[in-house]
Chain A
Amino acid sequence: MFIYEKKLQYPVRVSGKDVRMAQAVLNQYGGADGEMSASMNYLTQRFSMPLNETKGLLTDIGTEELGHMEMVATLFKKLIEGATKDELIAAGMGGYYANHETCPFLLDASGVPWESKYTQAKGDPVADLYNDMAAEQKARATYESLIVLTDDPLVKDTLRWLREREIVHFQRFGEGLRLVEEYAGRQKYF
């Protein structure tokens, strides 16, 4: 079951508008390696995990990624809120504005809509955990690129925090993998 808590996991602040950065940040919302893909990935894969430890892990990390989705959407909204017509058109967001005004929508930075092809649920626990570890690495790399793209120290702070969470998730999935491979006492070799 899912209940909403009326707060963000970490405060999101910006120094001012930056429509180009908003477009880049949208990648982490509705993109292939974004938080939406991550949370849907984990919340669907948990149904065919053999160990209680991994079931709990995937549920908790999936829920946390939903919270991160909220943070990224807030960041987008704060970066694009109050932009003038010229700023929007200069950043290439004129079409986005016509369609969605300043509301975050599940697209990536190039306007490609989100699809479930970005998620995977192979059903095999080892393959799924490797996939999740890769997803965390991709998200981390995207956050590093986003940190490079902005000059605003407040935005950098939020992105750096989100990147650190991806590193921690990678470690947890690695441990989950160790448990599935060794603790479950499997005798098969893949």
Chain B
Amino acid sequence: MNIINIAFDIFQYKLIMKGMKILYMNQTDNYEPLVPYMPENPVPGYAYVPYQINPLYFNNINEAFVHGTVFPELVTPYSEFFQRGVQS
């Protein structure tokens, strides 16, 4: 293969990747979450749950099905802090 052909292929590839990046960024650039992750000025007398922003997803549907959710960060986030009266 001619070296010029290879260089041109690489140039085209880079151009396509840049174009896709611009397209992708345009789609997600305009995403303004309705509320922030945690409120900017928390006030006593209220309870706040963190608002998921751009979370990770399970790539594999089977894994998501077995775990019980498509978001890995929501999989049993509870620690082993509380003692249960009866140990299994």
Contacts and interface: CB of A to CB of B under 8 A. Distances in A.
B74 interface: yes
B68 A168 contact: yes
Contacts, number: 61
Given A147-B88, A171-B74, A164 B49 contact: no
Given A164-B68, A182-B39, A174 B49 contact: yes
Contacts of B35: 178-179, 182-183
Contacts of B51: 175, 178
B48 interface: yes
User: What does DSSP make chain A's interface, helix, strand, loop or mixed?
Assistant: helix
A18 to B, nearest CB: 15
A190 B45 contact: yes
User: What does DSSP make chain B's interface, helix, strand, loop or mixed?
Assistant: loop
A103 B2 CA distance: 77
A144 B84 contact: yes
Nearest to B73: A171
Contacts of A164: 67-69, 74-76
B6 interface: no
Given A160-B68, A177-B47, A167 B84 contact: no
Interface string A154-170: 00000011011101101
Give the bracket for the number of chain A residues in contact with chain B.
20 to 34
Interface in B16-54: 34-35, 39, 43, 45-52
B68 A171 contact: no
B75 A148 contact: no
Nearest to B86: A148
Nearest to A148: B88
A147 B76 CA distance: 14
A53 B34 CA distance: 11
Interface of B: 34-35, 39, 43, 45-52, 65-69, 71, 74-78, 84, 86-88
Interface of A: 10, 53, 130, 133, 144-145, 147-149, 160-161, 163-165, 167-168, 170-171, 173-175, 177-179, 181-183, 189-190
Please provide the 10 A-B residue pairs with the shortest distance between their CB atoms, ordered closest to farther.
A174-B49, A164-B68, A148-B88, A161-B68, A182-B35, A168-B69, A178-B35, A183-B34, A175-B51, A178-B51
